[in-house]
Chains A and B, each alone.
Chain A
């Protein structure tokens, strides 16, 4: 099983600043990595797939990078609606696995 580890668990950022979230896989997942955003009481929403491809309707301030075992989600100029929990998920191998999440909170 590919274990996905996200860091930090919580990230405190001021509006307008940049946020950098990390996701590490225990073994290579190539570029088969997705990122999701979840707000309280809502279902997750797909942001990024294939490590760096933005999903339909996702603003350009969200970008993904990495391959193999190290991945990054960057949010430039955080907006109020971006404060949420972010999860990574690998789909290179069964079982599908999610990281534990990073909560981005207002500083």
Chain B
């Protein structure tokens, strides 16, 4: 069974940093692109970032470009999102998702981890 389990969310002050992790199991991790999608409280879905299976190609939404960094460790089946210079508007549930590259839709989602940016 394909499973994605996010961790690393929490409460952080504006300007602070967090590192989200996503542990993947049940599929050949290196064969798939991966991504992050977030959902602010009471709002819709917003794509944040994606990374190819090899990790050689990364993609970002304009809203996080230069502040967030996506990466992966294929030896440990792990996906990461390093979030710096956090703002109140980054407050959201952040979902990890599996992407059946070369088509970048999300076929499996984790349950999400909550990031709250507040003083």
Contact = CB atoms under 8 A, between A and B. Distances in A.
Range, interface on chain B = 20 to 34
Interface in A6-33: 32
Contacts, number: 58
A79 B47 CA distance: 29
A77 to B, nearest CB: 26
A43 B59 contact: no
Interface residues of A, number: 23
Interface stretch (B21-29, B73-81, B109-117): B109-117
B16 to A, nearest CB: 25
A43 B109 contact: yes
B105 A100 contact: no
Given A32-B103, A43-B95, A98 B109 contact: no
B61 interface: yes
Nearest to B4: A43
Contacts of B56: none
Nearest to B93: A43
Interface in B30-56: 35, 37, 44-47, 50
6 contacts: A32-B103, A36-B45, A36-B106, A46-B107, A89-B45, A96-B59
